[in-house]
């Protein structure tokens, strides 16, 4: 089924991982220094890249990353999330769309991520072929409601590419 040729389409994605000691915490491809705990995941657990990839797919009603990269498949163990995102982006381009801008919200109680805002924006932008001013990065805490999780929510605008 071919997605309707709208001038633009919106995509939304979410991802969450449990945090545990002895794991690295990577968000948007940026290793988080001083993180006491990291994401428990079958892949590298980068919740930002997973949510962005899901947002890209949802914008074109192409399903979700779990369909393309099942977490039960042995070959996906330790998978680099940049590969997942590149695959989602390739599908978007196949349908003649490109991301125009991205808004992402990371909810994490500790550590504070404010100093890494520009690094995360720059890295996500580079992976999507965008300028860093097209990637808005907001940080929230759960106010202690979910201290053992990292949660990410992402919206993306997909613009139709002519030709
Ligand atoms: Zn994930």
**Sequence-distant (≥ 6) Cβ neighbours of residue 122 within 8 angstroms:** 132, 135
pLDDT tens digits for 16-69? 999 999 999 999 999 999 899 999 998 889 999 999 999 999 999 999 999 998
CA of 150 to the centre of ligand 1 (A): 10
What is the layout of strands, in order, in the sheet containing 149-160?
Answer: 37-39, 8-21, 149-160, 97-107, 135-140
Computed over every residue of the chain, the mean pLDDT equals 94
CA of 44 to the centre of ligand 1 (A): 8
Which tokens is 47 given? 């919740």
8-160: what CATH class? alpha beta
- Could you list the residues known to form a binding site, using ranges: 15-17, 42-43, 50, 64-66
- The residue ranges of every structural domain in the chain are 8-160
Q: Please, which residues have CB less than 5 A from ligand 1, an ion? A: 15, 50
pLDDT value of position 62: 96
> Which phi and psi (to 5°) does residue 37 adopt?
-135, 155
Q: In 87-148, which ranges are E strands?
A: 97-107, 135-140
CA of 15 to the centre of ligand 1 (A): 5
């Amino acid at each position: 089924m071919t997605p309707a040729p709208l001038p633009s389409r919106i995509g939304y994605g979410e991802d969450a991982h449990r945090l545990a000691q002895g794991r690295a915490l990577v968000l948007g491809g940026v290793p988080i220094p001083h993180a006491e705990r990291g994401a428990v995941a079958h892949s590298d657990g980068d919740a930002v890249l997973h949510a962005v990839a899901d947002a890209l797919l949802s914008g074109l009603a192409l399903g979700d990353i779990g369909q393309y990269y099942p977490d039960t498949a042995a070959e996906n163990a330790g998978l680099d999330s940049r590969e997942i995102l590149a695959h989602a982006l390739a599908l978007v381009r196949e349908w003649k769309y490109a991301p125009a801008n991205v808004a992402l919200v990371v909810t994490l109680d500790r550590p504070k991520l404010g100093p890494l805002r520009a690094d995360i924006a720059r890295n996500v932008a580079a992976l999507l072929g965008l300028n860093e001013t097209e990637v808005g990065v907001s940080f929230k805490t759960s106010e202690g409601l979910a201290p053992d999780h990292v949660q990410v929510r992402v919206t993306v605008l997909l613009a139709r590419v002519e030709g």
